[in-house]
Amino acid sequence: MMESFEALKVISRHRGRAIVVAATTAGREWGQISTNPDLDLPWIVSMGKASSVGLGLALARPETKVMVFDGDGSLVMNLGTMLTIVNMAPPNLTHFIFENRIYRTTGGQPVPNAGRFSFAALARDAGYAHVYELEELKDLENTMETIMSQGGPTFVCLKVPSITERTPFRYPPLGQTSEIISRLNAALRDP
């Protein structure tokens, strides 16, 4: 299995000017790695909705790559989003799932039915254009260029360990959402 922090470093090297909607644990870690925070939309407090927000951004900004960092517990809370994403078929959306089989953000409770189904199989059956299930960091490193260059929607399931400690929160306080959105809008206007 790959560490989520190390996986995010690999993704960061291939990000370019993509908008990143970072949820739950990956969102907390992304704040320490991101080299372009003006294009980041931290989505820490609304578990289950990052993929819906990412879909909206991908549809509103079809010329801009959008990456969603979702947790498996977060996705379980809104599985219908997979069908909606495929129905709308944004070619610029890449949906990363960090599968650790627990609700790390809320203390480590097990995700229902964890380990007895495949997120990649769900994504294939839903109709994502491209689906990846990766367990080793070297596989992510070898695949990222392809992931970022092909049209989507693309689904990438990253198998990460079930670590329960939480990374410190590095983004602005939650009350500053309007500032985050203003900064994102300004960054999208600047090429």
Three-state SS for 163?
Answer: coil
The H-or-E segment that residue 131 falls in is strand 130-134
Give the structural domain span for 134: 4-189
Whether 20 and 69 have beta carbons less than 8 Å apart is answered as yes
Specify whether the CB–CB gap between 189 and 126 falls below 8 A.
Answer: no
pLDDT at residue 10, rounded to an integer: 96
* CATH classification at residue 109: 3.40.50.970
pLDDT of residue 138: 97
| Structure confidence at residue 183 (pLDDT) | 73
How much is the pLDDT for 134? Answer: 96
160-164-169 Cα angle (round to 5): 95
Kindly report the pTM of this predicted structure.
0.85
Q: Give the Cβ contact number of residue 11 at 10 Å.
A: 24
| Number of domains observed in the structure of the chain | 1
Both tokens assigned to 172: 């602005």
Q: List the pLDDT tens digit at each of the 191 positions of the chain.
A: 788 889 999 999 999 999 999 887 677 788 888 888 889 887 766 677 889 999 999 999 999 999 999 888 778 788 899 999 999 999 999 999 988 765 556 656 666 666 777 889 999 999 999 999 999 999 999 999 999 999 989 999 999 867 655 454 444 455 566 776 777 777 787 66
Q: What is the pLDDT of residue 3?
A: 86
Task: Give the length of the chain.
Answer: 191
